[in-house]
Amino acid sequence: MHDLIITGGTIVDGSGGAPYKADIAIDGDLISRIGSDLGEAHEVIDAAGRIVTPGFVDVHTHYDGQATWDDEMAPSSWHGVTTVVMGNCGVGFAPAKPDKHDWLIGLMEGVEDIPGAALSEGMSWNWESFPDYMDALEAMPRTIDIATHVPHGAVRAYVMGQRGADNEEPTEDDIAAMSDIVEEGLRAGALGFSTSRTVLHKSIDGELVPGTTATEPELVGLGRAMGRVGYGVFELTSDLLPEWDEFGWMGRLSKETGLPVSFSMLQSPVKQMSWQDQMASTKAANDDGANIVAQIGLRGIGVIMNWRGTVHPFMMKPSWQEIENLPWKEQYAKLSDPAFKAILLAEENLPPPSPDMAAFFMLVTAAWAMQFPLGEDFSYEPTREESVFGFAQGAGKDPQAYAYDQLMSDNGDGLIYLPILNYMDGNLDFTRDLLEREDIVVSLSDGGAHCGTICDAAAPTFLLSHWTRDRDRGTVDMPLAIKRQCHDTARLYGLNDRGLLRPGYLADINVIDYANLRLEKPYLAFDLPAGGKRFLQKASGYDVTVKSGVVTFCSGEVTKARPGGLIRGPQSVAAKEAAE
């Protein structure tokens, strides 16, 4: 008598191989048999007409604070994700001296747009060292498994104090002390180390993330700490400035330690390296014996604009700034007043808060041909004709006025999508080519972060619905897409016990109504601690999600089961595995 059997489904097993029909038997937290006539079970899930996939593994999230108070781990858990890796981009909350709590919150709020008040109210701070933080995470059962990196920013501040926060050059003793913390973190179960090397990542006070300008001795010294442990991913995001020779030191570090280095690969109007050059440099380093993996996004990365979000096209207007701190009811009354609207539209924008943000604010406040009204069934690959400019031209209206009216729709909850990265060509063709490569990993969902600007935690659903089924400009093979989101992400981080549907593997499974899988329209919720805001996006089509052999979601609704927990270190397949 098995614990659970999933019957009649079409298995897409995560290997990239052809789908096939079979039943899956589960005992405990593992898959025990796959085939037909598997006997009886205490629970049976009918998957006829559905695809059955491994649970999705998302390796680029920022749930570092949320994971300390939230057991559901939304919105990632709503999209078939059963494992997340957090602590990316060099920001996190451990190690943390008591007098650095507010500073670390300000760092996370500035870099990842997570409300500081929510973090202040939500986190208990019952840790100081990184192992203490791991223990705090392990104490809470949850719907999914979580894993984390050791973040450079927190390590630097812990060892160097204000010198570290100010990005001063470390001494040899500083590097040795930081390396000890990284090693301690990995021996406690962290899956890697992360750092940020982009001027776009700043604290709420406008200061660069500690480690942004770190030189090779520091970076390699910290990477060698992982080498001493024998596992881990060195993760970074970078502006890839030529003088930093990023691919040089990344290649040397990977070859010396035998460990992967993974960077955020972006098509960006400000990066000095094109995406083609980034991938060519990746290939050259790997041909020379390195293991560099490019993390790629699946759709344009930018902002969702809304009156109550973090940004919108009129945020630099004097009239808006006069009302920006009023309660929403009063704001809405003002915005609904034709006289107020006329005054605001006639005003010039105020200058940006800092010169290096000028280009961003120009796009937000005036790039009407790059801004797209976001409604139901939005494709995330819109054309110029579907932009604010295109619709305004067709309606004979001024684009600025059209954008204002779009934000006022839905009782003031209208949305405008502004893709900034990965959409320079007005399409996602280059991403389709990247998905065919073996030196990439599907990533950059930023689950739990950028709460008032994006909701890319829905990326796994977008991968299946848009990239394998709905895209007019060319799709990718569905088994390959699932392999990218399950097997490949898991293997990068040494999670060898998941990402495939095989006997002996962890029973992390999705039963999906593939034909009817769809993303719903994003919406702004105020459900974080202290009433903090975040964009959320749900999906329909996930019939069942199973985590470690237990049903956690059924027809889109979370169950009471909390079989997930903290991952400590690489994971191996159970000894009773039948075959690879």
Res 578: pLDDT: 40
Per the rule left: phi > 0, alpha: psi between -120 and 50, beta: everything else, 449 is: beta
* Element at 226 (helix H, strand E): helix 216-229
- The angle subtended at Cα 435 by Cα 487 and Cα 437, nearest 5°, is 85
Q: How many residues does the structure list for the chain?
A: 580
Ordered strands of the 416-421 beta sheet: 301-305, 416-421, 372-373
**Has this prediction a pTM greater than 0.75?**
yes
| CA dihedral for 116, 89, 491, 230, sign (positive or negative) | negative
The crossing angle, in degrees rounded to 10, of helices 101-112 and 152-160 is: 150
Task: Please tell me whether the peptide bond between 95 and the residue prior to it is cis, using omega within 30 degrees of 0.
Answer: yes
**CA dist., res. 231 & res. 343, Å (int):** 60
**550-560 confidence digits (pLDDT tens):** 999 999 999 99
* Residues 539-551: b if buried by 16+ CB within 10 A, e if exposed: bebbbbbbbbbbb
Burial of 340 (0-12, 13-18, 19+ CB in 10 A): middle
Is 266:297 a contact under the CB 8 Å cutoff? yes
CB atoms inside a 10 Å sphere around CB 450:
23
As a whole number of angstroms, the longest Cα–Cα distance in the chain is 73
Tokens of 460: 């796994």
**CA dist., res. 2 & res. 28, Å (int):** 9
> Within the chain, which residues score under 50 in pLDDT?
576-580
Q: Report residue 107 CA to chain centroid gap.
A: 18
| CA dihedral for 23, 29, 32, 38, sign (positive or negative) | negative
**CA dist., res. 63 & res. 148, Å (int):** 9
Res 353: pLDDT: 83
Tokens of 451: 């709460």
**307-340 confidence digits (pLDDT tens):** 999 999 999 999 999 999 999 999 999 999 999 9
Per 3-state DSSP, what percentage of the chain is helix, strand, and coil (rounded to 5)?
Answer: 35, 20, 40
Q: Which of 538, 533, 560 is nearest to 547 (CA)?
A: 560
